Amino acid sequence: MTNYDEAILRSGRIDPAAPFPVLHQAMRIALHEQYAAQSFHGRVVEAFGPRPPFVGVVRAKERHIAALSALCQRFGIPRPLNPFPQETSVSPSWRANCERGVAGEIATIRLCEYLLTQVGEPDARRLLQSLQTASLEHHLPAFRQAVAEAMAQERYHAARGIPPQEAYVRHGPLSDFMERALAHAGPLGMFSPLLRHSHPAMLAGMVAGGAGIYLLKNRSGRNR
C-alpha cells in the first residue's frame, strides 16, 4: 500500500497542480523525510550498537516525528504511511554510515530551507526552523566529527595491515580506549614509535600490568 501523494513525498517538492493545500503537502513531506531518517539511524543502532552519534540522533528524530504528527493532527492533515522500515538498509562500514549521516543532515537542512519558502503558517514555520537548527547546529557537526574519527581509525588499522571493515572490532573497554588514543595521535600516540605500531590489545595489557605493579608497590610502601 502506497501513499496517495507518493510522487510528491518522494520528490520532496510542493506540486502546485496537486489537489492538496501547500501546508498539507509540506507537513507530509517533512514527516516522510523524518521517517526515512529515523529508520536509517535506528538500523545503524541495531547493526552497530548504541554508539554516538546515531543513538542520540535517532531519539531526536523520534521527537521530531512526534512534533510533526501533533501539528498534522491539529490541522487535520493525515499522516503519511511509513514505508521505510521495509526499505532501509545500512552499510557494513561504520564510516560509510557516518558519511550517509552527513549527507542526510545536509538534505534535511536544504529541505527545511525549501519548505520555509513555501509555508506561511507561523507554527509550521517555527517547527521547520527548529528541525533545520537541530540538523545544522547539532546533528551535522556530530556526523562530520564521526567521519573524521572513522578515517583516523581506519588509517591506524591500515598501518597494521588491517582492512577497513575490521577497523571497528571491539577489544574491550581498555583496549578500545588505547586504540582511540593512538588513532587520534594523542599524547600516547606521539610518545613512541613502539606504541604507535603496537596492537591495542597488547598495549592494554601493558597498561593493566603497569597499573597492577604500581598499586602493589604503593600498598607495600604504605605497609612499610
Q: Judge if 127 and 197 occupy the same domain.
A: no
- Tens of pLDDT along 124-139? 999 999 999 999 999 9
Sort 136 into a burial class: Cβ within 10 Å, 0-12 / 13-18 / 19+. Answer: middle
How many domains are there within the chain? 2
Kindly report the number of other CB atoms within 10 A of residue 71's CB atom: 20
- Tens of pLDDT along 76-116? 999 999 999 999 999 999 999 999 999 999 999 999 999 99
Q: What is the pLDDT of residue 170?
A: 59
Q: What is the pLDDT of residue 155?
A: 87
Structural domain contains residue 94: yes
Q: Judge if 103 and 212 occupy the same domain.
A: no
Cis omega before residue 53 (within 30°)?
Answer: yes
Mean pLDDT of 145-171: 80
Q: What is the pLDDT of residue 55?
A: 97
Q: What is the pLDDT of residue 157?
A: 77
Q: Judge if 149 and 44 occupy the same domain.
A: yes
State the Cα–Cα distance between residues 7 and 100, nearest whole angstrom: 23
pLDDT value at 160 more than 60: yes
Q: What is the pLDDT of residue 174?
A: 43
- Does residue 111 contact residue 131 with C-beta atoms inside 8 Å? no
Q: Judge if 10 and 37 occupy the same domain.
A: yes
Structural domain contains residue 65: yes
Q: Quote the percentage of the chain above a pLDDT of 70.
A: 73
Structural domain contains residue 197: yes
Q: Which of 51-55, 79-83, 154-158, 214-218 has the lowest mean pLDDT?
A: 214-218
Query: The domain containing residue 188 runs over which residues?
Result: 170-223
Helix (H, G, I), strand (E, B) or coil at 170: coil
pLDDT value at 69 more than 50: yes
Q: Quick one: angle between helices 173-183 and 200-223, nearest 10?
A: 110
Q: Judge if 68 and 133 occupy the same domain.
A: yes
State the Cα–Cα distance between residues 94 and 98, nearest whole angstrom: 6
Q: Judge if 144 and 190 occupy the same domain.
A: no
Q: What is the pLDDT of residue 190?
A: 41
Assign residue 49 the CATH number of its domain. Answer: 1.20.1260.10
Q: Judge if 50 and 144 occupy the same domain.
A: yes
Kindly report the number of other CB atoms within 10 A of residue 138's CB atom: 15
pLDDT band for 218, please (50, 70, 90 cuts).
low
Structural domain contains residue 219: yes
Q: What is the pTM of this model?
A: 0.76
Mean pLDDT of 213-217: 49
pLDDT band for 219, please (50, 70, 90 cuts).
low
pLDDT value at 42 more than 60: yes
Sort 17 into a burial class: Cβ within 10 Å, 0-12 / 13-18 / 19+. Answer: exposed
Which amino acid is residue 65, in one-letter code?
A: I
User: Looking at per-residue confidence, does 113 or 201 come out higher?
Assistant: 113
